[in-house]
Amino acid sequence: MRVYNLSMDRIFLNDAKCITRGISTGRNRRHPIDKCLIAIAEFCDCKVWFDKKRDGVSQYNFFGLEPDTEMAIYLYTTVLGSIERETDTFKLTNIYTDATCHRKRLSVSFQKGMVRRINDRLQEMTTKRKHQEDIEIPKITTDNGITSLIVIKNSKVEDEYAKLSLRLRKTYNQSRHVNMSAYNEGVQRGNSVNLSRPIQRGYIAGLLT
C-alpha cells in the first residue's frame, strides 16, 4: 500500500477511474464477517455495501480506484479463509467437544470474537497508515493551498461514489447472546491472522504494513 501511494502523482489520479468490484458470498444469510467489512474498506480507501441478487444470494461491493478495490477483495478473501480454517480448528477443542449447549451457537460466538479482533486490528492499521502518509506522501500546491495527494484521491472517490446515486438502507442483525468462552477464544485467534501478506500483482505489489 505504501509503495503504491508513493508512486501516485496528480496525472495518475486524474486518469485513474473508480470501479465497483463485486464478490458473491454464496450465502443468503448474514455472516459475522459483515462486522469488519467497513474496516476493510476504510483501510483500502474504498466504499462498501452489499445487495442481494434475484436468487437471494448476497454480494459485497467495493468501490474505489482499481488497485484499492483489488486490495479490498484480497483482504476480504484472506479474512474469510482464516475464519473458516480457525473455526474448523476450534471445533476440535474441549470448549466445543465437551459443550452441553447448542454447538452452532459456539461456532458463531467464536467467529464473532475473531471478527471483532480482526476489525480492531484493521482500524489500528488504518490509523498507523494515515499517520505514515502524513509524513511520507508528497504534498502538492492546489487552488486551496498545500494538499496531500491522499486527500485528493479520497475526494475523487467520494465524488465518483456520489454519482452512483445509490439508494442504500441500513440493515441490522438480530442481537444474540454469545458464549463468552468461545467468543474469547475467537478474539485470541484473531490475533494470529496474517494481514501483512504481499500481493504479487505487478504495480500494486507491496506489504500492507
**Per-residue pLDDT at 15 exceeds 90:** no
Question: Which stretch, 52-61, 81-90, 124-133, has highest mean pLDDT?
Answer: 81-90
User: Where is average pLDDT lowest: 20-29, 74-83, 135-144?
Assistant: 135-144
pTM of the full predicted structure? 0.81
Determine the residue type at 3.
Answer: V
The C-alpha torsion from 22 through 127 and 135 to 1, rounded to 10°, is -30
Determine the residue type at 202.
Answer: G
What pLDDT score was predicted for residue 135? Answer: 67
Q: What 8-state DSSP symbol labels residue 44? A: T
Mean pLDDT, rounded, for 121-131 = 90
Q: What 8-state DSSP symbol labels residue 58? A: E
* Residue 140: band (very low, low, confident or very high) from pLDDT cuts 50, 70, 90: low
φ, ψ for residue 58, nearest 5 deg: -80, 150
* Residue 167: band (very low, low, confident or very high) from pLDDT cuts 50, 70, 90: confident
- Taken as a whole, the chain contains a residue count of 209
What pLDDT score was predicted for residue 121? Answer: 96
pLDDT above 90 covers a percentage of the chain that reads 46
Distances from the Cα of 40 to the Cα of 62, 97, 134, 171, 195, angstroms: 10, 33, 20, 18, 11
Distances from the Cα of 98 to the Cα of 102, 109, 153, 179, 181, angstroms: 11, 16, 52, 14, 12
| Cβ–Cβ under 8 Å, residues 106 and 182 | yes
**Residue 50 CB neighbour total at 10 angstroms:** 16
What pLDDT score was predicted for residue 107? Answer: 95
Helices (H), the chain: 2-6, 10-15, 37-43, 66-90, 94-97, 103-136, 149-163, 180-190
Mean pLDDT, rounded, for 80-101 = 92
Of 89, 107, 93, 109, which Cα lies nearest the Cα of 193?
89
Distance CA 192, CA 117 (A): 10
Domains of the chain, by residue range, sit at 2-75+116-169
Write out the three cell numbers for 7: 508512486
Report the half-sphere exposure of 145 (CA within 13 A, side-chain side): 1
**Per-residue pLDDT at 130 exceeds 50:** yes
**Per-residue pLDDT at 70 exceeds 70:** yes
Q: What angle do CA 76, 81, 85 make, to 5 degrees?
A: 150
Question: Which stretch, 46-50, 134-138, 171-175, 194-198, has highest mean pLDDT?
Answer: 46-50
Mean residue pLDDT of the chain comes to 82
Distance CA 4, CA 199 (A): 12
